Amino acid sequence: MSFDPILSNLRKHIALSPAEETYFVSLLKPKRFQKKEFILKEGQVCKHINFVNSGLLRAFYLNQENKESTIMFAISDWWVTDMHCFLEEKPAMLNIQSVSESEVLQLSKIDLDHLYIEIPKFERFFRILMQNAYVREQLRVIQNLSLSAEERYHNFLAKYPQIGSQVTQKQIASYLGITPEFLSVIRGQK
């Protein structure tokens, strides 16, 4: 499995020496997941943050009535985990499942904590990663509050065309916070 994508992901924000890159890469656990396989299940302690090398993952929440809410889709070059549970080393609230066959590089909480000490540049890297994640989630809150279901759907397709074509409408509906039946109605009206 190639480490080029993750190294160029790092290079967007920090510069590492070859030795540092080697050390970082040594901490990564490559994993391959089949379609529908779970990277993380609710209740498991979330030990890793995952970098998607190829494929597509989906993180979702199940409420008391077993209704799914899709929290995020993660395509190549994205980082994904149940951040709250990863940071606190608590049982996960979220499920993370492979949508299509995927290659993932996993970094454990312990190794990341070492990394922050050994190579403080990683503090910067993850600061920027977290900043961007925060801005993205806040924008999603704004859109959920201020846009109609139909506007949210068209926004989603415009923003993530690659994802829109790979996932089911049921999954898109659960990302938008509507039922699949209603999404079908929205799509019907041209």
CB of 57 to DNA, least distance (A): 16
Burial class (CB in 10 A: 0-12, 13-18, 19+), 59: buried
- Choose among its own copies, DNA, none what residue 14 binds, the Cβ cut-off being 5 to 8 Å by kind: none
Distance CA 124, CA 116 (A): 9
- Choose among DNA, its own copies, none what residue 148 binds, the Cβ cut-off being 5 to 8 Å by kind: DNA
CB of 63 to DNA, least distance (A): 11
Judged by CB under 8 A, the chain residues 74 through 93 that form the site for its own copies are: 83-84, 87, 93
Cα torsion through 96, 99, 102, 107, rounded to 10: -10
Spell out where the chain has E strands: 29-33, 38-40, 48-62, 68-75, 79-80, 94-108
Which of 61, 78, 160, 182 touches its own copies by CB under 8 A?
61
Binding positions for DNA, rule: CB under 7 A: 148-150, 168-170, 177-185, 187-188
Q: What angle do CA 49, 84, 164 make, to 5 degrees?
A: 65
Judged by CB under 8 A, the chain residues 97 through 116 that form the site for its own copies are: 116
What residue ranges bind its own copies (CB under 8 A)?
61, 63, 67, 69, 71, 83-84, 87, 93, 116, 120, 123-124, 126-127, 130-131, 133-135, 137-142, 144-147, 174, 177
